[in-house]
Every structure is written in C-alpha cells, then in structure tokens.
C-alpha cells in the first residue's frame, strides 16, 4: 500500500510512538508485507528467525522489535510490538469507511455495466465497461474490476485476510488494507470468496474463469487464462502462472508457485511448488502418471500377500 503523500521517518515514528534509527526526513512511501515490498516501504518483523530476511529485503524501513545494526541506505523503527504498530499504521492511512448506500457514491461504474438488485458496491470500487454483477454480490471497498467481467450471485470480493497472531489472551488480527484486482474478461462463479491483500493486491488476470465455491486467499496472483473448478481452496501468497488448470476440490499450501500450463487433477493437495507443463495428482502431490502407477501397485498388495502365504 502506498501512502496518499510521501511521509518522513520522524512523522511515522510519532504515529506509533517508537524510537527510530535514521534521518528525521528519511522518506517513507508506503508499507507492505515482505513478499511484495518495494523501495520506500515499511516492512515489519517480530521474530529473530526472520530478522535477516527483513533487513535484506527491498524495504527501506524495517519495523523491528530489537535494536540491531541498520543496513546502509535503510532506516529502523524500534517497537516493542511491531505487529500492533503495523496495524496502527494500516488504520491511520486506510481507515474503515462506513457505507452510506448499497452502491457507494464514490464507486465508478463503466458504460454498459449492469448491477443487479441487492448487490453491494463499496467505497472507491471501480468497475469497467460491459460488466455484469449479479444479485447479492458484495464488492468490498477499493476493489478494481476490469472490462467484460461477470461476477455471479453470492460471491464476495475483498474480505479480510486470514492472518492472526497468537497471543496469551487470544488471536490478534492483522488488519487488511489491500485490494482485490480483477482484470478483463474474468468470470467468477457463484459463492466464491476472494480475500484482499494485507497491504498489496490479490490479483486475477485477464481471461481466467472460476467455477462456483472457489476460495482465493490474500495476496495470491492468478495468471491469465486459468481454469479453476468448484470447491478449490487457494491459500494466501500463492502464484499461479498463466493457463493453469485446477480441477475440483484442489487445495494448496501458502507461498507456493504453480508453473505455467500445469494441470492439477481433482482432490490434489498442492503441498509444494510445481513446475509448469505437467499433470499432477495426489497428496502429497506428484506427477499424475507416477501417482496412478503407485495406486495400481497398491491394489496388487492383497494378491501378492496371498501368493506369499501359498
């Protein structure tokens, strides 16, 4: 997420009441998670296991819970609770806006687009030309919809990321302030749920088609001309490259990549990244031809045991 105007390190430190290392006027342009950070962004880290990764990332401001040596060209924000303070910044720069109507005044709807009754169109939503938004669709604030997009009834775009910190008193929610971006010629089936990014975008690219009851987690990027069948669950921060097919009831781990033109057969658990151009099946995932051979061998076990007894 980029801030509406550039900020400086002293101002940001004042917002969260923390110490800092760096010049008062050190420029701060936005905030993001580590997998999408860019120069000028704040990234937060609160576990020693990830200190080096955060300090070496593209982020130039690191919100951290320990005073460490500051890398050249970067700045530090020293906080006793970076998770809490990251949330404070999210709320400050993108506060919740209460809806005043079913279709927000600030929403932009392109020529030829149809919004069916009982759909909710949130603040700052942009819908392109010749789209069809069916009844009971919910588009949360800041969603971006391209041209010639169809969203079927009951789908929800822009729900919060499933991201919590386990504290002694209960789970603490990481506040989501990202967006959902749907490119041209995408069709989204009924009862799909697409979570917005924590600070970045969850993106579905041009020409992709989703069946009914598909879930897409936060910050996931789905490429062009993908086919995703019913009851598939895609975790957060997944990259699905172009022309991938996911058949029914596929599930994925977070943070993996599925290569271009891969085919994932039904009920497969995608537990790791896989290269493109191949077909996969099973849990844990393997190339489908090998997995089917293994299943065929398993069926022969009773016959083999019988022969051994004889």
Classify burial at 105, counting beta carbons within 10 Å of its beta carbon; exposed 0-12, middle 13-18, buried 19 or more.
exposed
Given a contact cutoff of 8 angstroms between Cβ atoms, the answer to whether 211 and 233 are in contact is: no
Helix-then-strand count for the chain, H and E: 5, 34
Strands 209-210 and 227-228 turn out to be: parallel
- Told to judge if 218 belongs to the known catalytic residues of this protein, a careful annotator would answer yes
Q: Distance between CA 278 and CA 34 in Å, rounded?
A: 30
For residues 64 and 49, give the distance between their C-alpha atoms in angstroms, rounded to a whole number: 12
Could you give the angle at which helices 82-93 and 9-16 cross, rounded to 10 degrees?
Answer: 110
**Maximum Cα–Cα distance for the chain, whole Å?**
85
Residues with a known catalytic role: 218
């Amino acid at each position: 997420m980029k801030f509406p105007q550039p900020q400086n390190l002293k101002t940001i430190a004042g917002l969260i009441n923390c110490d800092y290392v760096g010049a008062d006027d050190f420029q701060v342009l936005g905030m993001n998670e580590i997998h999408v950070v860019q120069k000028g962004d704040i990234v937060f880290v609160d576990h020693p296991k990830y200190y080096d990764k955060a300090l070496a990332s593209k982020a130039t401001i690191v919100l951290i819970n320990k005073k460490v040596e500051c890398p050249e060209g970067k700045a530090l924000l020293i906080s006793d609770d970076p998770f809490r303070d990251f949330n404070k910044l999210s709320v400050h720069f993108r506060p919740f806006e209460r809806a005043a109507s079913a279709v927000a005044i600030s929403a932009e709807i392109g020529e030829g687009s149809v919004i069916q009754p009982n759909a909710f169109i949130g603040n700052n939503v942009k819908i392109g030309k010749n789209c069809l938004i069916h009844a009971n669709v919910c588009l949360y604030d800041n969603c971006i919809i391209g041209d010639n997009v169809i969203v079927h009834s009951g789908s929800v775009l822009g729900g919060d990321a499933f991201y919590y910190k386990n504290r002694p008193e209960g789970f603490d929610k990481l506040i989501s302030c990202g967006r959902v971006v749907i490119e041209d010629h995408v069709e989204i089936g009924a009862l799909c749920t697409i979570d917005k990014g924590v600070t970045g975008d969850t993106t579905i690219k041009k020409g992709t088609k989703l069946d009914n009851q598909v879930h897409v987690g936060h910050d996931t990027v789905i490429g062009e001309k993908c086919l995703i069948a019913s009851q598939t669950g895609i975790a957060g921060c997944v990259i699905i490259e172009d022309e991938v097919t996911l058949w029914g009831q596929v599930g994925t781990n977070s943070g993996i990549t599925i290569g271009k033109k891969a085919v994932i057969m039904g009920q497969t658990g995608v537990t790791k990244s896989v290269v493109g151009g191949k077909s996969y099946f099973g849990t844990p995932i393997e190339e489908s031809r090998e997995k089917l051979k293994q299943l065929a061998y398993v069926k022969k076990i009773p016959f083999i045991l019988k022969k051994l007894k004889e």
